[in-house]
């Protein structure tokens, strides 16, 4: 097998997944009537996505109740992704033990890199720990 063909074959096997979610507001019959004569609680759902960073294709998806925790959905999303996962990238809403545990459980060897920035409210008790934690997050230097 020639090198470019082998490289393309490996690229299809190794996936870098990007996780995110968005809120969806559901409207039913009689929206105008409800707004005119009194508001009723709106129904919300969350649409969770795992997108292949290389191709932009949706690799996994799920719809949950609006109050569902993002990090708790990671095992289901990663379970739908085909092939070997090279890395998992997500926003601060996924910062939590369920995300790291799901990535490690999904594939043991080699474990995927998990790149999730810490949440803004996180703080360190020791200033030295803060400096070390800010130094390098997923290969990105943070001041």
Q: What is the DSSP string of 100-129?
A: HHHHHHH--SSPPEEE-PPPTT---SSHHH
Question: Which domain does 129 fall in, by range?
Answer: 13-26+43-135
Whether residue 118 is contained in a domain is answered as yes
| Strand partners of residue 50 | 19, 60
141 located within any domain: no
In a domain, 32, yes or no: no
In 3D space, the residue among 12, 22, 114 whose CA is nearest the CA of residue 55 turns out to be: 12
CA-to-CA dists, residue 57 to 31, 51, 74, 105, angstroms: 34, 6, 18, 23
Specify the number of domains making up the chain: 1
Structural domain includes residue 70: yes
Q: Is the separation of the CB atoms in 94 and 70 below 8 Å?
A: yes
Specify if 140 maps to a domain.
Answer: no
Q: What's the predicted TM-score (pTM) here?
A: 0.68
- pLDDT tens-place string over residues 68-93: 999 999 999 999 998 899 999 999 88
Rounded to the nearest angstrom, the gap between the alpha carbon of residue 39 and the centroid of all alpha carbons in its chain is: 33
Q: Are 72 and 100 in contact (CB under 8 A)?
A: no
Residues in the chain, total: 143
Within-domain flag for 53: yes
**Average of per-residue pLDDT across 40-65:** 89
In a domain, 143, yes or no: no
Q: Judge whether 22 lies within some domain.
A: yes
Of 64, 66, 63, 69, the residue nearest 90 (C-alpha):
69
Read off the CATH number of the domain in which 57 is found.
3.30.420.10
For 5-21, the pLDDT digits (tens) are: 444 444 456 789 999 99
């Amino acid at each position: 097998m020639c090198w470019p063909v082998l490289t393309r074959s490996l690229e299809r096997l190794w996936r870098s997944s990007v996780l995110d979610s968005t809120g969806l507001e559901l409207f039913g019959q009689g929206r105008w009537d409800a707004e005119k004569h009194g508001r009723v609680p709106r129904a919300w759902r969350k649409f969770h996505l795992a997108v292949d960073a290389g191709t932009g294709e949706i690799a996994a998806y799920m719809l949950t109740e609006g109050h569902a925790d993002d990090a708790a959905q990671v095992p289901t999303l990663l379970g739908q992704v085909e092939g070997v996962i090279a890395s998992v990238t997500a926003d601060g809403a996924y910062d939590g033990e369920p995300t790291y545990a799901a990535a490690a459980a999904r594939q043991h060897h080699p474990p995927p890199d998990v790149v999730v920035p810490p949440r803004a409210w996180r703080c360190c008790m020791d200033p030295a720990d803060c400096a070390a934690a800010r130094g390098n997050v997923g290969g990105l230097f943070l001041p």
